[in-house]
A = this chain, B = another copy of it.
């Protein structure tokens, strides 16, 4: 998606060899106009699918997931990372290793909000090694719901998350795929 690529080139900051900071418009400060345009673009790719629920994981996936829920007119569910006192005890759990945070954590979705009749579209801001998506897929599998696909804003194409998911027969759509960082610059896949 050219609008997104242009924005990444304009406002993204490459740090070291593997970190792209896009917190000026995607995951700390959020540009909702861009988010709306990205939601419309992502929706086109899944319009042939039956979607009854959008699933993401807190926190940075929530804005794009909310746009998708609004456009598909279906509920958005976000998996929680932190065990809260008032969380339902009856939950599906998945494990996720975060390379950004250098630790594993458990994500949870209340069994009330994922049914075996659901058709689920996973949405997230980033796809790199795919651990977060695989944790959500595990939760969907436990619930008996059907995973219809995965919609991503920015994919790090040089990591293997997308390959793993596609090999598992899952439709993955990323609005921008980064092939590499060269001399502190982002190189996109055509």
Asked whether A59 is an interface residue with its Cβ less than 8 Å from the other chain, the reply is yes
Most-contacted residue by chain B among A15, A70, A82, A109 (CB, 10 A): A70
In the bound assembly, the distance between CA atoms of A88 and B22 in angstroms comes to 12
Which residues on B sit within 8 Å (CB–CB) of A101? Answer: 82, 84-85
A32 touches B70 (CB 8 A): yes
A62 CB → nearest B CB, Å: 4
Given A59-B59, A62-B63, do A86 and B21 touch, yes or no (CB 8 Å)? yes
Counting contact residues on chain A (CB < 8 A from B), the size range is: 35 or more
Q: Which residue of B lies closest to A112 (CB)?
A: B24
Q: Which residue of B lies closest to A58 (CB)?
A: B59
Asked whether A29 is an interface residue with its Cβ less than 8 Å from the other chain, the reply is yes
In the bound assembly, the distance between CA atoms of A28 and B36 in angstroms comes to 21
Asked whether A19 is an interface residue with its Cβ less than 8 Å from the other chain, the reply is yes
A66 CB → nearest B CB, Å: 5
Given A32-B69, A33-B70, A85-B102, do A76 and B63 touch, yes or no (CB 8 Å)? yes
The SS class assigned to the A binding surface is: mixed
Which residues on B sit within 8 Å (CB–CB) of A102? Answer: 85
In the bound assembly, the distance between CA atoms of A6 and B68 in angstroms comes to 25
A28 touches B77 (CB 8 A): yes
A78 touches B28 (CB 8 A): yes
A71 CB → nearest B CB, Å: 9
In the bound assembly, the distance between CA atoms of A75 and B32 in angstroms comes to 7
A35 touches B66 (CB 8 A): yes
A44 CB → nearest B CB, Å: 19
| A→B interface (CB under 8 Å) | 15, 19, 21, 23-25, 28-33, 35-36, 58-59, 62-63, 66-67, 69-70, 73, 75-78, 80, 82, 84-86, 88, 100-102, 109-110, 112-113
Provide a sorted-by-A list of 20 A–B residue pairs whose CB atoms are within 8 angstroms. Answer: A15-B86, A21-B86, A23-B88, A24-B113, A28-B78, A28-B80, A28-B109, A29-B110, A30-B76, A30-B77, A32-B69, A33-B70, A35-B66, A35-B70, A36-B70, A59-B62, A62-B63, A62-B66, A66-B66, A85-B102
